[in-house]
Copies of this chain bind each other. A is one copy, B any other.
Amino acid sequence: MQISELGEFALIDRLTKDVQLHNASTVKGIGDDCAIVDTTQSAGRALLTTDLLLEGIHFDLVYTPMQHLGYKAAMVNISDVYAMGGTPRQMLVSVAVDRRITVEALDDFYAGLRLACERHHVDIVGGDTSSTLTGMVISITVMGDAPTDEVVCRSGAKDTDLVCVSGNLGAAYLGLQLLEREKAIYFDQLRQQPQGTQLPFEPDFAGKEYLLERILKPEARRDVIENLKKTGIHPTSMIDISDGLSSELLHICKASGCGCRIFEERIPIDYQTASTAEEFNMNVYTCALNGGEDYELLFTVPLADHQRIAEIEDVKVIGHITRQDLGTLLVTRDGGEFELKAQGWQHNS
C-alpha cells in the first residue's frame, strides 16, 4: 500500500498502535506537542543522545531488511546511553520516506524498532514523519537516566587504568565488505539480463552469518553494564565503539588528558572475522582499529580492579592508560610501536 493512500495521521496511528510503555517515568507518549516524563522518578541525571541515519550514507536498502534497519537505528542510540552508565528509557523516532517505501515496509521498520525497545525496556514516546524527495531519513533520540554518581564520561581515565573492551571487534566492518561485494556481483548479473528483468538478491552467506548479524543487527551491551555493576566495578571512562577502536580510544585519551598503550595481540577477534579478513586480503587488526559499527563498549577501570575484571564474561583487557606525554600507542605482535590514528569510520560516502 502506498503511504499517500493512508495519509499522515492514519499512518502514525497504524505505526504506533502497538507501542507499549514500560517505564514508570513515562507520563505521556505519542499524541501531544511534547512527550511528558516524570523526572521525580529519575535517579538524578537524564542522558540525551541522538543519531541521524541517511540512506546511501549510513545504510543501503539493497541489502538491509527494513526490520533490521529499525532494530539497528534504535540500538545505536540505546548503546550511547549504556556507554554513559545509564538506563535508556524514552525514544523519539523521526522518519521520512519517499514513494518507493510502502506502508508494509514501514510496518517492518517499526516492528524492528519495537523489538529493540522491548528488549531494552525503552518507550517510544514521540517523533515526526515526513515524505522525502530522495532517500530515507531516520533520526532517533533516546533519553535515559542514571544515578548522579554512576554516570561515566569519557574524561575520567587515569594513568595506570586498565583499558578494556567487550565482545570482539572488526566483525561489522567485514560484514559490510561482504554485503558490498555481493551487491556488486548482483548488479553485474543484473546488467547482463534483458532490461526490466527482476532478479532476487539472494547471495549465499553460509558460514558468515555472524558477520552479517554484526553489521545488520548489532546488540547494545546492557549485559556488560549489568555485570560491571554486579561486580562493583565503576569504570573511570567509557565510550561505545561506533567509529573503530582507534578513534574511540583517542576520544577517551583526549578527554581525559592521558596517553595509552594497547597490545595488538590482545584485541579480541572472532574466528569468522579473521578468516574473512584473510579472504579479503586485509589486516584483521586494521579492521578492528579503523572499521566501525561494532557497538562494543570500550572502558577503563582502576588497576586495582584487575582481578575482578578478569571474572567478567566477554570483557578483555587490551592495554593500559599512560601519562599524556608517552603518547597513544599500539604495540604490535613483533614489539613495534605505532601512534594510533583517528581514521574513524568511513561511511559509504
- Kindly state whether residue A162 has any CB partner on chain B within 8 Å: no
How many copies altogether? 2
CA distance A131 to B57 in the complex (A): 7
Binds B, one of A67-75, A83-91, A181-189, A307-315: A83-91
Distance of A164 from chain B, by nearest CB (Å): 16
**Cβ of A84 and Cβ of B133 under 8 Å apart?**
no
Contact of A47 among B35, B44, B83, B133 (CB under 8 A): B35
Residue interface mask A19-54, B partner, CB < 8 A = 1: 000000001100111111111101011111111101
Question: Is A349 at the interface (CB under 8 A from chain B)?
Answer: yes
Q: Which residues of B contact A349 (CB under 8 A)?
A: 131, 133
The yes or no answer to A154 lying at the interface (CB within 8 A) is yes
Contacts of A112 in B (CB 8 A): none
B residues near A27, Cβ cutoff 8 Å: 45
Q: Which residue of B lies closest to A94 (CB)?
A: B52
Contact flags (1/0) for A262-293 with B, using CB distance below 8 Å?
A: 00000000000000000000000000000000
Q: Which residues of B contact A31 (CB under 8 A)?
A: 154, 255
Within 8 A of B (CB), among A290-304: none
Check B35 against A151 for contact (C-beta < 8 Å). no
8 pairs from A and B in contact (CB 8 Å cutoff): A34-B86, A38-B46, A40-B44, A42-B42, A48-B143, A54-B130, A58-B130, A133-B135
Interface residues of A (CB under 8 A from B): 8-9, 27-28, 31-40, 42, 44-52, 54, 56-58, 80-81, 83-84, 86, 90, 92, 94-96, 125-128, 130-135, 137, 139, 141, 143-145, 148, 151, 153-155, 238-240, 255, 342, 344, 347, 349
Q: Given known contacts A32-B155, A50-B128, A56-B132, what 8 new A-B pairs fall within 8 Å (CB)?
A: A8-B344, A33-B83, A34-B47, A48-B143, A52-B94, A52-B137, A54-B133, A141-B141
